[in-house]
Amino acid sequence: MSRVGDLGGRLYRGEVSFNFVGRQRLWYTISGLILLISVVALLTRGLNFSEEFKGGSSFQFPANSSTSQGAIAQVVNSAGGGQATVQHLTGRTSQWVVQTASLVPDVTTQVASAISSAFHIPVNQISVSFVGATWGGQITTKAIEALIAFLIVIVIYLTIAFDWKMAIAAFVALLHDIVITVGVYALVGFPVAPATVIGLLTILGYSLYDTVVVFDKVRENTAGLLTTTRSTYSEAANLALNQTLVRSINTSLTALLPVASILFIGGALLGTGTLNDLSLVLFVGMLSGTYSSIFIATPVLADLKEREPQYKELAIRVKRRAAGGRAAQRTAATVTTPGGAATAVTTATATPVRTDAGT
């Protein structure tokens, strides 16, 4: 058996255990710092919305040795196009993409003519497109509506399938993933395109799937827990998390590898585009989702459950049992003789002697 497989078996049997739930303050502190950075970046830098969201004019044309990003921006500005965003797309063909604010038809023609004459590019090789701000606003509105509907449906489903505290813990983990993913986009300046919204909804489903698997094991481990004193709710939840840990990591790595291939290898060959936008948000979101399903969702659930009176009483009974067991072990280990000396006690097992009558 491989080392990973052996570790998974030992984790499942409880022979090895990582105390994720018991160190929830550490995970909350780490997540709090990341969330703070994300919120500050979002408020100060904002999101870099693509042309589809904010509207504007776009000019795309082949790149040659006589063009440069600064020169293109200067030519567009001089022709009346204003401040422009210039991107270099690499792939099978090298292309320049220039995005400006919404331009009237006359100014659009002037900009295209200026690019053609400045860089010796035929006008018919300059692709001009226009996206209205109204359409971009509709995309934003529909995306927010879809996100709200998704969260509401998920909370209702988890409340019915599990209980409302598990629904709250999963909801907190989902919000955690949303804020961090959006914050990374604001901090780094990644462009937010329609494909980004699609990817965001996809990673929320992926993160929720991983969380539900852990919660299902938690429910199995805590069934009938109140009738025993073998462990507290937090200990049972931590055992469930360890039992599904290797599975969660393997699932995450299996999903991240093809996404990383699309993002890094495909992006280098094909350049930026819809595929790159989608793989980027999937990569960032899957990392955040894996983290939240392990370090956030289950610790939050355990905190909520430990507040219930029956689980508080269970924790007291488990503590008393553990203290009594340790005291009994100490008492059995040594005994004080009349002279005051401590003598170790050896327990002997008597072997019964069988007597057969009539032999």
- pLDDT in the model for residue 245: 85
Instruction: Going from the first residue of the chain to its last (359 residues), give the mean pLDDT of each consecutive group of 10, the final group possibly shorter.
Output: 57 70 92 94 85 78 79 87 78 78 84 88 85 67 81 88 90 91 86 79 80 89 84 90 85 85 67 68 86 91 92 87 66 54 45 41
- pLDDT in the model for residue 304: 93
Which residue's entry shows tokens 């488990």?
Answer: 318
- pLDDT in the model for residue 349: 42
Minimal CA–CA distance to 49: which of 212, 194, 262, 153? 194
Distance, first Cα to last Cα, the chain:
56
What CATH number does domain 24-49+135-309 carry, 1.10.8.80, 3.30.1490.190, 3.30.200.210, 1.20.1640.10? 1.20.1640.10
Please, where in the chain does CATH 1.20.1640.10 lie? 24-49+135-309
- pLDDT in the model for residue 172: 92
Domain 56-131 has CATH 3.30.70.3220: yes
- pLDDT in the model for residue 197: 78
- pLDDT in the model for residue 280: 81
Please, where in the chain does CATH 3.30.70.3220 lie? 56-131
- pLDDT in the model for residue 135: 63
Instruction: Answer whether 282's CB lies under 8 Å from 202's CB.
Output: yes
Q: What is the CA radius of gyration of the chain?
A: 31
- pLDDT in the model for residue 338: 52
- pLDDT in the model for residue 227: 84
Residues 6 or more apart in contact with residue 248 via CB below 8 angstroms? 210, 213, 214, 290, 293, 294
- pLDDT in the model for residue 354: 42
